[in-house]
């Protein structure tokens, strides 16, 4: 009885040591430097004092940019939802054969693996600077995320109602429309709203690479050390994000 206990303790210690090694390795790789924090404290203090006096002189311009930001998020998410409905169904293994869902899923993996910012830079190269590139970036990345979430909901449905509809002589499209969609709709709506929330957060930084919205002003003001204006923009972003989070939470509650 003693031996298995000892073995287990040894294994636990081994994994604890391994975990510690990984942390040390990552710490060194990131050039963690506490002295830099201390040496930079003067800069930080200056920044903070700037932040303490938000500069709202250009607020009209910021509001315009904020509206564009929300518009980017809205259009990007909407396009993603429209495309995620068929792509989500086509990635569900209980609806289509493997030679359909495997390629579709891999394509969605690619869409999801590349960050919105990276997509934004790619689309800027294609369609030029501006909000359109931002919309395309959010659209592609969000499609990858939503199609996966949608398909997971489809895979968890109760197959019996679908069988009931199949037995009436319905075609495949009708099986999906009447057997699957009614079952998955509440969760699909909930996920879509959640993605809209997070896309507003993403859209707020897309401008940093030139893909439209408030992010451009944010990075410009930060680069010219206008900490007051930076603080004003950040406050506006926080207020808008919080408002939309609360709003979408309230709507989501009604569907789940």
Partner 1 sequence: MINIRNFSRTFGSHKGLDNISITVRPGEMVALIGASGSGKSTLLRHISGIMAGDKGGGDIRVMGRIVQEGGSIDRHIRKTRAEIGMIFQQFNLVGRLAVLTNVMLGSLGRVSIFKSLTGRFPRAVQEAALEALRRVGIADKAGQRASTLSGGQQQRAAIARAMVQRAKVLLADEPIASLDPESSRRVMDLLEELNRQDGVTIMVSLHQVDYATRYCQRTIALRAGQVVYDGPSSALTPAVLKDIYGAASEDMFGEELFAETDEPAMAEVIPQPYRPGLCAGAAA
The crossing angle, in degrees rounded to 10, of helices 131-155 and 98-113 is 140
> Using the rule CB under 8 A, which residue among 79, 96, 121, 165 binds partner 1?
165
85 counts as binding partner 1 under rule CB under 8 A? no
* Per CB under 8 A, 189 contacts partner 1: no
Complex with partner 1: residue 35 or 160, whichever CB lies closer: 160
Among 12, 27, 164, 246, indicate the residue that binds partner 1 (CB under 8 A): 164
Among 166, 228, 234, 241, binds partner 1 (CB under 8 A): 166
Residue of the chain from 174, 224, 225, 242 that contacts partner 1 (CB under 8 A): 174
Helices (H), the chain: 2-29, 34-39, 41-52, 59-90, 98-113, 116-127, 131-155, 159-166, 172-174, 181-206, 215-223, 227-255
> Scanning the structure block, which residue is given the tokens 């410009």?
220
> What are the Cα distances from residue 169, in Å, to 160, 164, 179, 180, 230?
15, 10, 13, 16, 62
> Residue 115 corresponds to which tokens in the numbers above?
């960050």
Per CB under 8 A, the list member of 88, 134, 144, 179 interacting with partner 1 is: 179
CB of 252 to partner 1, least distance (A): 17
Binding of partner 1 at residue 170 (CB under 8 A)? yes
Among positions 182, 224, 250, 255, the unique one binding partner 1 when judged by CB under 8 A? 182
DSSP state of 167: T
What span, in angstroms and rounded, lies between the C-alpha atoms of 214 and 60? Answer: 12
Chain contacts with partner 1 (rule: CB under 8 A) = 160-161, 163-171, 173-174, 177-179, 182-183, 185
């Amino acid at each position: 009885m003693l031996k298995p206990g000892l073995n287990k303790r040894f294994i636990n210690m081994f994994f604890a040591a391994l975990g510690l090694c990984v942390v040390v390795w990552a710490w060194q790789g990131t050039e963690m430097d506490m002295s830099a924090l201390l040496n930079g404290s003067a800069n930080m203090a200056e920044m903070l004092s700037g932040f303490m006096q938000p500069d709202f002189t250009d607020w009209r311009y910021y509001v315009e940019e904020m509206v564009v930001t929300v518009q980017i998020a809205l259009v990007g998410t909407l396009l993603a939802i429209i495309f995620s409905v068929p792509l989500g169904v086509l990635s569900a293994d209980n609806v289509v054969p493997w030679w359909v869902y495997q390629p579709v899923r891999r394509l969605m993996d690619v869409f999801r693996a590349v960050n919105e910012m990276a997509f934004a830079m790619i689309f800027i190269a294609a369609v030029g600077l501006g909000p359109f590139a931002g919309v395309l970036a959010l659209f592609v990345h969000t499609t990858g995320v939503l199609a996966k979430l949608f398909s997971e909901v489809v895979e968890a449905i109760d197959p019996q109602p679908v069988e009931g509809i199949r037995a009436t002589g319905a075609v495949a499209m009708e099986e999906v429309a009447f057997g699957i969609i009614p079952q998955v709709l509440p969760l699909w709506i909930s996920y879509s709203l959640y993605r809209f929330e997070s896309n507003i957060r993403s859209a707020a930084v897309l401008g940093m690479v030139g893909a439209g919205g408030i992010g451009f002003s944010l990075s410009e003001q930060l680069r010219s050390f206008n900490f007051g204006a930076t603080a004003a923009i950040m406050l506006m972003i926080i207020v808008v994000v919080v408002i939309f989070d609360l709003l979408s939470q309230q709507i989501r509650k009604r569907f789940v």
